[in-house]
């Protein structure tokens, strides 16, 4: 029994050590990288890497949510086309939009990219323009019921202006009945195809429906892009500036040092106050840290200084659950229970408090992410990741380690 417990304990410690190495050095084989090391996989925000920040303002007083989404989608598409995939675009207040692009210092180039009016076109298989965005009156996402299957589906409704209706009718007459690959109309924003619906019938009306395997969000996004060819307002550049990367890298170094110091202090605190249990909790905390770093690297999370603050804060929260559990175990031991019974009872009694406290924090993080902007979102997403991982390490890893250790006593 003891031999089996020792094997399990050594195995989990080796796995944790392997995860730490994986998070720091990554995984490469035969020249191919499967997991990037942390220094390459994690992307840094404007406040760390430096870059360009531009603020735009809509030239009208009231901007609806749909209009704001249209602007953001246009900017996102244009920046992605030029390779600025790390850019972030957020709405600030009623009618302002902030664009931040890490590692780019040529502000004028970005202004020119975003300042050009988006060109929306509907083209045939030979890339001949049928209509452009100015001929579309409106586009919106809608949920309908399929008359054949009875199932609901999300579609995009289009309404054309007079010249658009005529041109679209002629195009559908020409393309309907053509073989696959020659019977579609591509919808393009600048040079990017955002959808290519097949012509299923001749359309001689001022409206039509675009069908596809759309989710609600995809349909809304497509409608927003189509409407972008007929924006109801113009954007004015309010400010633009370059952020020096030197300051950001200096701040990054200080933030990393602060995180390491916090990690060491927390581990020492746990070991001094809870001895063997604290040592096991420190092993679980090392596991927690490696998992958080791996998640940030694998998903290329855009890390900001506020995001680092969220990680450091979540470290303290990661052991908070262990403190609650250990105090419960001590109470059970004081009541005369054996070590094994005290450990089981301590975990069982602490679970409600641990889960409740973490769930409330998760809800707060979600609200901050949905309603916040810029640095607030960065703080919310890293804290959310940290809290979820910390629940796993406290409930699963620490319990596993302590159970195996009890079996050896």
Could you count the other beta carbons within 10 Å of the beta carbon of residue 66? 13
- CATH number, residue 399: 1.20.1640.10
Residue pair 301/295 in contact (Cβ under 8 Å)? The answer is yes
* pLDDT for residue 117: 55
Same domain, 395 and 261: yes
Q: Write down which residue in 228, 243, 258 finishes a domain.
A: 243
Q: How far apart are alpha carbons 172 and 157 in whole angstroms? A: 16
Same domain, 95 and 19: no
Q: What is the pLDDT along the chain (409 residues), one digit of tens a residue?
A: 567 777 877 787 788 788 778 777 777 777 777 677 766 677 777 777 778 888 888 888 888 887 888 788 778 877 776 777 677 888 888 888 888 888 776 777 777 767 655 577 889 998 888 888 778 888 888 888 776 777 788 888 888 888 888 988 899 899 988 888 888 988 886 677 878 888 888 888 888 877 777 788 778 777 776 766 555 567 788 888 777 765 566 667 777 788 788 888 888 988 898 888 888 888 888 888 888 888 888 777 777 778 888 888 888 777 888 888 888 888 888 888 888 888 888 888 888 888 888 899 999 999 988 877 667 877 888 899 988 998 888 888 888 888 877 776 6
Domain that residue 16 falls in: 2-43+244-408
- Three-class secondary structure assignment of the chain: CHHHHHHHHHHHHHHHHHHHHHHHHCEEECCEEEECCHHHHCEECHHHHCEEEEEEEECCCCCCHHHHHHHHHHHHHHHHHCCCCCCEEEEECCCEEEEEEECCCCHHHHHHHHHCCCCEEEECCCCCEEEEHHHEEEEEEEEEECCCCCCEEEEEEEEECHHHHHHHHHHHHHHCCCCCCCCECEEEECCEEEECCECCCCCCCCEEEECCCCCHHHHHHHHHHHHHHHCCCCEEEEEEEEECHHHHHHHHHHHHHHHHHHHHHHHHHHHHHHCHHHHHHHHHHHHHHHHHHHHHHHCCCEECHHHHHHHHHHHHHHHHHHHHHHHHHHHHHHCCCCHHHHHHHHHHHHHHHHHHHHHHHHHHHHHHHHHCCCHHHHHHHHHHHHHHHHHHHHHHHHHHHHHHHHHHC
Residue pair 199/174 in contact (Cβ under 8 Å)? The answer is no
* pLDDT for residue 118: 58
Same domain, 124 and 223: yes
Q: Write down which residue in 224, 243, 262 finishes a domain.
A: 243
Sign of CA dihedral 22, 24, 25, 26: positive
* pLDDT for residue 366: 92
Same domain, 250 and 390: yes
Q: Write down which residue in 243, 259, 277 finishes a domain.
A: 243
């Amino acid at each position: 029994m003891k031999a089996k417990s020792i094997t399990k304990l050594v195995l989990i410690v080796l796995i944790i050590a392997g995860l730490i190495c994986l998070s720091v050095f990554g995984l490469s084989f035969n020249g191919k990288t499967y997991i990037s090391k942390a220094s390459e996989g994690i992307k840094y925000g404007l406040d760390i890497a430096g870059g360009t920040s531009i603020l735009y303002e809509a030239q009208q007083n009231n901007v609806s949510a749909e209009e704001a989404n249209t602007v953001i989608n246009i900017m996102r598409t244009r920046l992605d086309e030029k390779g600025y995939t790390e850019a972030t675009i957020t709405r600030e207040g009623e009618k302002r939009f902030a664009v931040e692009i890490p590692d780019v210092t040529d502000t004028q180039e970005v202004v020119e990219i975003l300042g050009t009016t988006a060109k929306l076109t509907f083209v045939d298989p030979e890339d001949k323009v049928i209509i452009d965005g100015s001929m579309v009156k409106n586009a919106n996402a809608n949920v309908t019921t399929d008359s054949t299957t009875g199932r609901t589906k999300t579609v995009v409704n289009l309404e054309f202006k007079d010249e658009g209706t005529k041109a679209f009718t002629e195009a559908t007459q020409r393309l309907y009945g053509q073989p696959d690959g020659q019977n579609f109309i591509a919808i393009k924003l600048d040079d990017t195809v955002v959808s290519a619906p097949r012509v299923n019938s001749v359309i001689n009306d001022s409206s039509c429906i675009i069908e596809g395997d759309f989710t609600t969000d995809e349909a809304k996004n497509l409608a927003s892009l189509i409407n972008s060819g007929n924006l109801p307002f113009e954007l004015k550049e309010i400010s633009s500036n370059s952020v020096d990367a030197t300051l950001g890298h200096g701040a990054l170094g200080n933030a990393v040092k602060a995180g390491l110091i916090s990690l060491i202090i927390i581990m020492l605190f746990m070991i001094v106050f809870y001895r063997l249990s604290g040592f096991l909790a420190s092993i679980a905390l090392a596991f927690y840290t490696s998992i958080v770093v791996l998640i940030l690297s694998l998903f290329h999370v855009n890390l900001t200084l506020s995001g680092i603050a969220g990680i450091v804060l979540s470290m303290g929260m990661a052991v908070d659950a262990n403190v609650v559990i250990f105090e419960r175990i001590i109470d059970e031991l004081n009541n005369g229970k054996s070590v094994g019974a005290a450990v089981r009872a301590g975990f069982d009694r602490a679970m409600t408090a641990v889960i409740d406290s973490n769930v409330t924090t998760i809800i707060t993080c979600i609200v901050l992410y949905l309603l916040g902007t810029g640095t607030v979102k960065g703080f919310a997403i890293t804290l959310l990741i940290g809290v979820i991982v910390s629940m796993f390490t406290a409930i699963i890893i620490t319990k596993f380690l302590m159970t195996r250790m009890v079996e050896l006593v």
